[in-house]
C-alpha cells in the first residue's frame, strides 16, 4: 500500500500577498529610518508585473540600519505609467516606470 502524497501547506507569510496583474497602491508613509522607497512613487497606484524570488532582505530591519539578513522581505516589480506620475506627460506614448517595492509598502488598490 502506497503512502498518501505529502502536501505540507505553506504558512500565510510564506506566500506572496499579491499576484502578477494585481492593482496595488504604494503606501504614503514617512517613517523614521532609511527606506528604499522613493518619495515620488509613494501614494501612487501601480500594477504588479513580477514577484521577485527569492524573498529578499527584511526592509523593516534595514530601515533602522540593521542589515540583518533574515530573508523575509518580499519584493514586487510594479509598473506605473509616466503620464500618471508627472503632470503634462503625454499618455499616448505609453512610457512607463518599472520599480521594485517591498510587500510591506503595498496595499490593494
The nearest distance, CB 75 to other proteins, in angstroms, is 7
Rounded-to-integer distance, Cα 50 and Cα 35, Å: 21
Which listed range, 3-11, 19-27, 92-100, lies at the site for other proteins (CB under 8 A)? 92-100
CB proximity list for 25: less than 8 A, separation 6 or greater: 43, 44, 45, 46, 106, 107, 108, 109
Output the smallest distance, CB 66 to other proteins, in A. 15
The reply to whether 31 sits near other proteins by the rule CB under 8 A is no
H/E element, 59: helix 59-62
Q: Residue 19 CB, nearest distance to other proteins (Å)?
A: 18
Rounded to an integer, what is the distance from CA 19 to the centroid of its chain?
10
CA 14 to chain centre: 15
Stretch that binds other proteins, among 3-11, 15-23, 25-33, 91-99 (CB under 8 A): 91-99
| 106 lines the binding site for other proteins (CB under 8 A) | no
* Residue ranges that bind other proteins, judged by CB under 8 A: 36-38, 40, 50, 52, 56-57, 59, 75, 77, 82, 85-86, 89, 93-102
Amino acid at each position: 500500500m502506497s503512502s498518501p502524497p505529502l502536501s505540507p501547506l505553506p504558512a500565510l507569510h510564506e506566500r506572496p500577498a499579491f499576484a502578477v496583474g494585481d492593482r496595488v497602491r504604494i503606501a504614503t508613509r514617512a517613517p523614521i529610518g532609511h527606506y528604499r522607497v522613493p518619495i515620488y512613487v509613494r501614494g501612487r497606484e501601480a500594477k504588479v508585473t513580477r514577484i521577485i524570488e527569492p524573498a529578499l532582505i527584511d526592509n523593516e530591519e534595514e530601515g533602522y540600519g540593521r542589515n540583518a539578513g533574515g530573508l523575509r522581505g518580499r519584493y514586487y516589480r510594479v509598473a506605473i505609467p509616466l503620464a500618471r506620475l508627472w503632470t503634462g506627460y503625454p499618455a499616448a506614448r505609453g512610457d512607463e516606470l518599472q520599480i521594485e517595492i517591498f510587500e510591506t509598502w503595498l496595499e490593494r488598490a
